[in-house]
Amino acid sequence: MEVKWLIIARDFEVKDNASLSIYEILDTISFNHEPPYETKLKLIARMNIEPIETDGTVIIKVQINEKGEGVFASEEYKYPVVTLLQWATKIPVFTVDFGIISFVNTGEYCFEIYLNGELKGSEWLIIDAKYGGENGEI
């Protein structure tokens, strides 16, 4: 099992016809107020699964690292590997709804995904702040 791609987004929807709609893909978020910087985030990973790998469970760890500071957050999930029928008919995606994340510092954050302890993919997010104007995200 491999991670084909990893996206940080505001929201997503998996439709009945197995299509995936992703809303507002993020690589930088700017705020115009002092910390904390709070925002809603979701992580979407497209899995590349071979039919021989179906049926079972893998452990997926999602870790967020703050550049130069180390681990910001880490969580493990059990992911049921799809059946052969699901593999043939649906897009295997792994998603994490972080809800609201509160960043204390500006800078670069790396979202990493591990499968059974092995790093499989990562994506960077920049938190930026420009003071002045109304409070909120810009």
Over the chain, what is the mean pLDDT? 83
pTM reported for the whole predicted model? 0.80
Summarised one tens digit per residue, pLDDT across range 42-70 is 999 887 766 555 557 778 899 999 999 99
E strands, the chain, in order: 2-14, 20-25, 28-31, 37-48, 56-66, 70-81, 93-103, 107-115, 118-129
Q: Which of 30-34, 40-44, 69-73, 127-131 has the lowest mean pLDDT?
A: 127-131
Chain centroid, CA 77 distance in Å = 13
Confidence of residue 77 (pLDDT cuts 50, 70, 90): confident
Catalogue all structural domains in the chain, each as residue range(s) with its CATH number: 2-128 (2.60.40.2550)
Instruction: Give mean pLDDT, residues 128-133.
Output: 73
The pair of three-digit structure tokens given for residue 92, joined into one six-digit string: 């295997």
